[in-house]
Amino acid sequence: MLSPITVRPALPEDYDAVARITQDSYVTAGYYGSADHPYLQELKNVAGRAQHADVLVAERDGTIIGSVTAAPAGGGFSDIGLDGELELRTLVVDPAVQRSGAGTALVSAVVEQAKASDGINAVCLTTGATWESANALYNRTGFDRVPERDWFVPGTDIKLFVYRLELSRS
């Protein structure tokens, strides 16, 4: 049986592990051709992300196995967030432990953070139209597609899907 997963805020000493997992997960999945891709380099700048958003890590047995960024709408790391939304970005899980519950735990942590935040009524996110495992995770965790907000990576024919989860406060 696997040990439980703990999700917590990333500390500066975690940034190298988060950058490595970000690179490994995106390159292994084939989302970017190489580790030198300019956008991947931007995503690996965890300290830069942390200046504008909350970076969380998933740990199992003291080892970081995944990460996610919760970006306030209109902030320096938000792409598509609208007023009243918290944007879930850069969800990554170490390829060696994917499908172990870390992705679900990270999504749940962002949803709980949003529920605890004043003025936030939804969580939104963008994912690749062809990223099957990511799309399955967001469907499984209650997100709804918002096709009218879909967009294309500027200068490409790469379509990005937008998902949104309306928060219920019980």
10 Å CB burial of residue 7 (0-12, 13-18, 19+) is buried
Instruction: Give 104 or 24, the one with higher predicted confidence.
Output: 104
* Residues spanned by the domain of 33: 6-166
In a domain? residue 43: yes
Cα-based angle 55, 148, 32 (whole degrees, multiple of 5): 50
What is the per-residue pLDDT across 13-42, written as a single tens digit (0 to 9) for each?
Answer: 999 999 999 988 877 776 666 677 777 788
In a domain? residue 126: yes
The pLDDT value recorded for residue 40 is 74
- Total structural domains in the chain? 1
Nearest CA to 81 among 105, 114, 55?
Answer: 114
Average pLDDT over residues 31-55: 84
The pLDDT value recorded for residue 169 is 61
Nearest CA to 80 among 151, 26, 155?
Answer: 151
User: β-strands 159-166, 151-152: how paired?
Assistant: antiparallel
In a domain? residue 1: no
The structure's pTM equals 0.93
In a domain? residue 80: yes
The pLDDT value recorded for residue 32 is 66
What is the per-residue pLDDT across 105-150, written as a single tens digit (0 to 9) for each?
Answer: 999 999 999 999 999 999 999 998 888 889 999 999 999 999 999 9
| CB atoms inside a 10 Å sphere around CB 147 | 8
In a domain? residue 132: yes
Decide if 55 contacts 92 (C-beta within 8 A).
no
| CB atoms inside a 10 Å sphere around CB 82 | 13
Assess whether pLDDT exceeds 70 at residue 52: yes
Domain at 91, CATH number: 3.40.630.30
Rg of the chain in Å (alpha carbons):
15
121: left (phi over 0), alpha (psi -120 to 50) or beta: alpha
What is the per-residue pLDDT across 69-102, written as a single tens digit (0 to 9) for each?
Answer: 999 999 889 999 999 999 999 999 999 988 889 9
